[in-house]
Amino acid sequence: MRRGAAVRGTGWLWLAPVVLAAALLFGSAVGETPIPLSTVVAVLASKAGLPAGVLDPVDASVIWHYRLSRAVVAACVGASLALSGLILQALLRNALAEPYLLGISAGASTGAVAVAVAGFGAGMVSMSAGAFAGALVAFGLVTILARAAQGTGVQTTGIIILAGIAGSQMFNAMTALIIAQSASAEQARGIMFWLLGNLSGVRWPDIRMALPMTLLGLGVALWHVRTLDAFTFGADSAAALGIDVRRAQAMLIGTTALVTAVMVSIAGAIGFVGLVVPHAMRFLVGVRHARLVPATALAGAVFLVLSDVVSRIVIPGQVLPIGVITALVGAPAFAVVMIRGRQR
Amino acid sequence: MSDTPILELVGVTRRVQGRDLVSDVSLHLRAGEMLGVIGPNGSGKSTLLNMMAGLLPPTRGQVRLAGQPMVRLRRQQIAQQLAMVSQAAETGERISVRDAVELGRTPWLGPLWPWSARDDEAVQAALQAVGMEQMAARDWSTLSGGERQRVHIARAHAQAPRILLLDEPTNHLDIHHQIGILDLVSQLSVTTVIALHDMHHALRCDRVMVMQSGRCVALGAPLDVLTPALIREIFAVDAQLIAHPAGRLPLFAFQRLA
Amino acid sequence: MLRMTTVIIAVLGLAPMAFAGTDYPLTLTSCGHDVTIDKAPERVVSVGQSTTEILYMLGLANKVAGTALWINPVLPAFAEADSKVERLSDNAPSFESVLATRPELVVTAYEWMIGPQGAVGTREMFDNAGIPSWIMPTECIGKDNSQSMDGARTVLFDAALLYQGIEELAQIFDVAERGEALIADLKARETGAIERAQALDLPDELSGAFWYSSADIEIDPYVAGINGVPGWMLSKLGVTNVVSSEEEWPTVGWETIARADPTFIVAAEMNRRRFPADDIAVKREFLSSDPVTSQMEAVKNDRILTLEAHAMDPSIRAIYGLEALSDALASLGLSE
C-alpha cells in the first residue's frame, strides 16, 4: 500500500471537472430572466457544432455571450482568490491572511476612484484599468515598505502584514479624500457597487486575461505544494527543511499579487472567498497542500459561480453586488463546515 | 576516510546592531560524535546553532559543510545533510503526527521527484525510532510537550541527515521526558550538536563546548571542561562533582556563591 | 432657447394686481419639517441646480447669495445672472461656507444634501443657526430616501410636485403672481407635448428604456426606475417602461433589458466625462457592437433617442424633456 502524501486522498480529483462543468451549466441556465433549460442546452450544443434547430438570437447571445462567459470568469476569479488566500495563509502563518492583505484591494479602489471621480484619463481609461494600475502601485509600495523595514527585529511575516495594513490604510485614506473632494452621490454609489464586486460587465475577451492568470496561479501553487507544507512550523522550520524561504516568498507572494490584481480589475474586490474557502477546505480535506491546492481552487470556482447566480436572482429585476452574496452565503456555510469539522 | 570535517566553523562571528551575539568561534565537528553546547541564557547558543544550520549567515568567518562553504550551497543541498530541531516550533494547523514526520522528506522531494516507497520507509523508520508508530494518526493539538518534541526529532530523523542539530530539546519538559529525549538522541547513529543548559545532560556528550557572551571559552571532553572553576566563572555558582553511588556518570552539587 | 427667454420676459413683464401678497410670518411644512419664514428672504443659498434655476426663473437671482451642486451648465438665459452669484462649490458645500454667506433661507433639491444624513448638514443644524431650510417636494413626496442615496419612488412622479415647489417658493418670496405665470406656461407646454404624442396615434404596445450611464461600459447600466421622471414621461405618452424597479436609478442587467426588447431606448447626453459611458457616442457604439444588445429591435431599427441628462431629474427641464421626447417619437415613424 502506498501511503505517500502526494497520492493519498486525491482520488476524488477526477470529479473536479464534472463538478466544475455542472456549476458552469448551472451558471448558464439561471439568470436575471428565465430561459428554459432546453434552450440553454440547445444554444451550448449549437456552439459546440451540433445541430440545434432555430434559436432566438437574443436568447442565444444572452446565454453564450453573457452567462457562460460570466460563469467562466466567475470560476477563474473564485479559484484565483481562494488560492491566493491559501498561499498567503500558509506563508504568513496567519489564519486571517487574505489576498487583499497586500494592499491590493485598497490600491484598486484608489485607482478606480481616481479614474471615475477625479476624472483621471478623461473618460478614456476604464475603471478596470485604473484598478489594475492602483493595485500594482499599492503592492509595489507595500513591498518597498516591507523591504525597508527588514532587519528591524520584527519577523518577516509580521513585517509583510504590518506593511500591508499601513499601505491599505494610506490608500483607503486617499480614496476617501478623492471622494470627499469631488464625488456626487451617483458616482460614489457606482464605485461602491463596482468595488463590492461586479461580474455584469464580463465578456469573452476578459477570459483572455482571467484564464491564463488562473492557470498561472494554480500551476505555481501546485509546483510549490511541498514548499507550502514546509511552512507548517514557520519560516525557520521551512528553511531547515531545505526551502529557500526568500525565493519561495518572492515567487509565491508575487504571483498572488499579480493574479489578485488582475482579478480585482476584472470583477472588483470580491471579499470572503480568499479568506474562508481555504479554511473550509482544511476542515474537509486536511492540511496537506497536495490535496488542499486543487480542492481550494475547485471550491473557490464553484462557490463564486453559485454566488453569482444567487446575486442575479435573489431580488427580481435587480442585480446585487456579488461581494454581498459571498458574505451572506459564505458565512453560514463556513459555520456549518466548522462545526462539522469539529465533530469529525 | 578523508580528513575533511563533516562540519567546520572558522572564526565565525555574528554581529547585530553593533553587538556580537557570537564572536570568533571555530570548531571541527567529528563524524559520529555528540557535541553539547552549554552556556547561560543569552550566551549565543541558538545563534551559533542557526549559523551551523546555515539559517543565519555569519557576519565574519565561514561555515563549511563537508568542506563546502555553506553560503554557496543551495538550501535543499544543506537540508539533505543537516537537520535542525528548533526550540518550540509550533503550529495551529490540524496536522497529524504522520503528516508532521512526512515534512522531513521535503529536501528529498520536488515537483518532479514525487513521493516514493523509499520515503514511506524513511517515515516509518523515523516513527519507530521515536516510538510513535502507534500514534501516527494522532492530531498535533492532542500531543503533550514531550510527544511534540519526539515528533520533531522523528521529522529530523526522516530527513536522513548526516548531522542533527537540536536547540535545547529538553526545555519545558518534565524530568522523565528530558531523559527520554536524551536517550533517544544518543541512540540515533548520527553526528549531533545539542544546545543544553543542564550540566548533567552535558556530561552524556562526547565533547562539550562552553559559551559565554558569544565566545567559546572551553571545548573538550565533559569532565575535562566542566571543572568547578569554570562553572564558577561562567554560571556564577559553586559546583562540586560527586561520584555516582552505582558507578554511572558523576553528579554535580550546586550552591549559590556567598 | 428662444422660447424660454420669451417665457421669462412674459413672467417678469406681467404685473397684474390680482394676486394677494404673502402674509408673514409664513409657516409651512417642507418634507415633514415645520418651517417659519418671518419675511421675504433677501439672501438665500440654493444647493441643487434645479432649485437654483427655479429661483432664477422667478426673477430672484439678486436674492441668491450662493449656489452649489451643479450637474450641467446653467441655462444660457441665466448665464449672465449666474456669473454674478457666488458659487460655493460645484459639489457639496461645507456647512460653514453656507453659514458664512449669512443666508436667511437655504433651499435644496436633495435630502442627501440637507436632511437626516445631509452632506451639508441636518435641518436641525440649520434650525439651531436660526436659518429655515426648504426642500423641493419632488424629493420627499412619494419618495423614500432612507435606503439608498438616489432614493426610491413609491408613487409615480408627477409634474404637480414640481408646480407645488414653484408655488411654495413663489409664496416664500412673495412673488406669487410670477409663480402662477411660470406654472401656467409649463402646464401649457406639458399638455401640448402630450396632445402632440396622442395625435401620432402610436400603437398601444410601445415600450421604452432610459439609459443614464454605466460605471464601466459593459457593466449593468443605470436605467430609469418605473416611478421617476422618465417613468412619468413614458406614462404620459402611453409607453411602458421595461424596468419595473421603484429605485430612482436602479442598475439592471442588459440581459433583462434585451429580453424585454423595448421599442426604443432613450440615452442620456451629458457634459460629464467620468465614466466612458457618459459619452453618447460611446453609448451608441456599445449598443450596436455588443453581441446581445445589437440583437435588440430598438438597436436594429435605429430607435435610439438622445435626451439631456438633467431633463431626467425632477426639475423644470423635465417638462422640456417631455416635449423633446414627444417630438422624437414623432420622428420614429411608429404611427399606425
The complex's ipTM works out to 0.89
pLDDT of residue C15: 45
pLDDT, tens digit (0-9, with 9 covering 90-100), for B105-139:
999 998 888 899 999 999 999 999 888 989 999 99
State whether residue A108 sits within 8 Å of chain C by CB: no
Nearest to A104 by CA among A264, A228, A221: A264
Burial call A98-135: b when 16+ CB within 10 Å, e when fewer: bbbbbbbbbbbbbbbbbbbbbebbebebbbbbbbbbbb
State whether residue A234 sits within 8 Å of chain C by CB: no
**Residues of C with Cβ-Cβ distance to A318 under 8 angstroms:** 245, 247, 250-252
Mutate to test the interface with A, among C255, C295, C300, C313 (most CBs of A within 10 A): C255
State whether residue A198 sits within 8 Å of chain C by CB: yes
Cβ distance of C292 and A58 shorter than 8 Å:
yes
Window from A4-18, A163-177, A243-257, C318-332 with minimum mean pLDDT: A4-18
**Residues of C with Cβ-Cβ distance to A116 under 8 angstroms:** 215, 274-275
State which residue of chain A sits closest to B107, comparing Cα positions.
A242
Bond prior to B58 in cis (omega within 30° of 0) = no
Span B156-170, average pLDDT = 93
**List of domains in chain C:** 2-185 (3.40.50.1980), 204-331 (3.40.50.1980)
Nearest to B155 by CA among B71, B95, B94: B95
Whether residue A11 is predicted with pLDDT greater than 90 in this model: the reply is no
* Distance, CA of C315 to CA of C69 (rounded, Å): 14
**Residues of C with Cβ-Cβ distance to A64 under 8 angstroms:** 291
Cell representation of residue A91: 506563508
Nearest chain A CA: its distance from B111 CA (Å): 6
* Distance, CA of A72 to CA of A81 (rounded, Å): 14
B147 within domain boundaries:
yes
Nearest chain C CA: its distance from A273 CA (Å): 22
Whether residue C208 is predicted with pLDDT greater than 90 in this model: the reply is yes
State which residue of chain C sits closest to A189, comparing Cα positions.
C149
To the nearest whole percent, how much of chain C has pLDDT over 70?
92
Higher pLDDT, A95 or A89: A89
State whether residue B167 sits within 8 Å of chain A by CB: no
Total domains in chain B come to: 1
Whether residue A323 is predicted with pLDDT greater than 80 in this model: the reply is yes
Tell me the pLDDT band of A155, cut-offs 50, 70 and 90. Answer: low
Nearest chain C CA: its distance from A184 CA (Å): 7
Nearest chain B CA: its distance from A103 CA (Å): 25
How many other C-beta atoms are found inside a 10 Å radius of the C-beta of residue A317?
17
Report the alpha-carbon angle A17-A218-A210, nearest 5: 85
Nearest to A99 by CA among A245, A247, A300: A300
To the nearest whole percent, how much of chain C has pLDDT over 90?
56
pLDDT of residue C69: 85
To the nearest whole percent, how much of chain A has pLDDT over 90?
31
Cell representation of residue B234: 561562567
Nearest to B89 by CA among B172, B22, B33, B8: B172
Whether residue C275 is predicted with pLDDT greater than 80 in this model: the reply is no
Q: What is the CATH number of the domain that holds B199?
A: 3.40.50.300
Q: Are A99 and A256 in contact (CB under 8 A)?
A: yes
To the nearest whole percent, how much of chain A has pLDDT over 70?
86
Cβ distance of B120 and A288 shorter than 8 Å:
no
Whether residue C8 is predicted with pLDDT greater than 60 in this model: the reply is no
Nearest to A61 among C215, C273, C295 (CB): C295
Q: Are B78 and A215 in contact (CB under 8 A)?
A: no
Cell representation of residue A28: 448558464
B243 within domain boundaries:
no
B234 within domain boundaries:
no
How many other C-beta atoms are found inside a 10 Å radius of the C-beta of residue A159?
19
Whether residue A82 is predicted with pLDDT greater than 80 in this model: the reply is yes
**Residues of A with Cβ-Cβ distance to C148 under 8 angstroms:** 189
**List of domains in chain A:** 27-343 (1.10.3470.10)
Give the 3-state secondary structure of residue A114.
Answer: helix
pLDDT of residue C201: 81
B242 within domain boundaries:
no
- Measured in whole angstroms, the distance separating CA C185 from the mean position of its chain's CA atoms is 17
Higher pLDDT, C182 or A149: C182
pLDDT of residue A154: 56
pLDDT, tens digit (0-9, with 9 covering 90-100), for C89-121:
887 888 989 999 999 999 999 888 898 878 888
Cβ distance of A182 and C91 shorter than 8 Å:
yes
Whether residue A338 is predicted with pLDDT greater than 80 in this model: the reply is no
Whether residue C41 is predicted with pLDDT greater than 70 in this model: the reply is yes
B37 within domain boundaries:
yes
Q: Are C255 and C292 in contact (CB under 8 A)?
A: yes
Chains B and C touch, using 3 or more CB pairs below 8 Å: no
Element (H, E) at C193: helix C176-199
* Distance, CA of C168 to CA of C137 (rounded, Å): 9
Span C268-285, average pLDDT = 85
Whether residue A159 is predicted with pLDDT greater than 60 in this model: the reply is yes
Chain C neighbours among A 312-331 (CB < 8 Å)?
312, 317-319
pLDDT of residue C224: 92
Higher pLDDT, C171 or C8: C171
State which residue of chain B sits closest to A242, comparing Cα positions.
B76
Cβ distance of C253 and A193 shorter than 8 Å:
no
Angle, to 10 degrees, between the axis of helix B175-187 and the axis of helix B145-158?
Answer: 10
Q: Are C5 and C77 in contact (CB under 8 A)?
A: yes
Give the 3-state secondary structure of residue C105.
Answer: strand
Mutate to test the interface with A, among B91, B103, B140, B167 (most CBs of A within 10 A): B103
Chain A neighbours among C 173-212 (CB < 8 Å)?
none
Cβ distance of A232 and B95 shorter than 8 Å:
yes
Whether residue A110 is predicted with pLDDT greater than 80 in this model: the reply is yes
pLDDT, tens digit (0-9, with 9 covering 90-100), for A56-74:
888 899 999 999 999 999 9
Cβ distance of B117 and A2 shorter than 8 Å:
yes
Mutate to test the interface with A, among B106, B140, B148 (most CBs of A within 10 A): B106
Strands C44-47 and C105-108, sheet pairing: parallel
B231 within domain boundaries:
no
**Strand order across the beta sheet in which C64-68 lies:** C87-89, C64-68, C44-47, C105-108, C133-135
pLDDT, tens digit (0-9, with 9 covering 90-100), for B67-88:
999 999 999 999 999 999 988 7
State whether residue A215 sits within 8 Å of chain B by CB: no
State whether residue B178 sits within 8 Å of chain A by CB: no
Nearest to C279 among A123, A128, A189 (CB): A123
* Distance, CA of B237 to CA of B229 (rounded, Å): 10
Whether residue A114 is predicted with pLDDT greater than 70 in this model: the reply is yes
pLDDT of residue A90: 92
pLDDT, tens digit (0-9, with 9 covering 90-100), for B216-250:
999 999 999 999 899 988 888 888 888 888 888 88
State which residue of chain C sits closest to A312, comparing Cα positions.
C253
Tell me the pLDDT band of B1, cut-offs 50, 70 and 90. Answer: very low
Cβ distance of B106 and A288 shorter than 8 Å:
no
State whether residue B119 sits within 8 Å of chain A by CB: yes
Nearest chain A CA: its distance from C10 CA (Å): 35
pLDDT of residue A185: 54
pLDDT, tens digit (0-9, with 9 covering 90-100), for A174-211:
888 887 766 565 566 666 666 777 788 888 888 988 99
Nearest to C255 among A32, A117, A181 (CB): A32
Nearest to B103 among A239, A241, A245 (CB): A241
Span B169-196, average pLDDT = 87
**Residues of C with Cβ-Cβ distance to A59 under 8 angstroms:** 259
Cβ distance of C219 and A182 shorter than 8 Å:
no
- State the residue range of the domain holding B173: 7-226
B240 within domain boundaries:
no
Nearest to B106 among A6, A226, A288 (CB): A226
Chain A neighbours among C 47-76 (CB < 8 Å)?
69, 71
Distances (CA, A) of A121 to A124, B219, C71: 6, 71, 20
pLDDT of residue A231: 93
Whether residue A33 is predicted with pLDDT greater than 90 in this model: the reply is no
State which residue of chain A sits closest to C218, comparing Cα positions.
A201
Looking at chain B, how many residues does it have?
258
Whether residue C13 is predicted with pLDDT greater than 50 in this model: the reply is no
Report the alpha-carbon angle B232-B238-B241, nearest 5: 100
pLDDT, tens digit (0-9, with 9 covering 90-100), for C66-93:
999 887 788 899 999 999 999 998 878 8
Whether residue A318 is predicted with pLDDT greater than 80 in this model: the reply is no
Nearest chain C CA: its distance from A143 CA (Å): 30
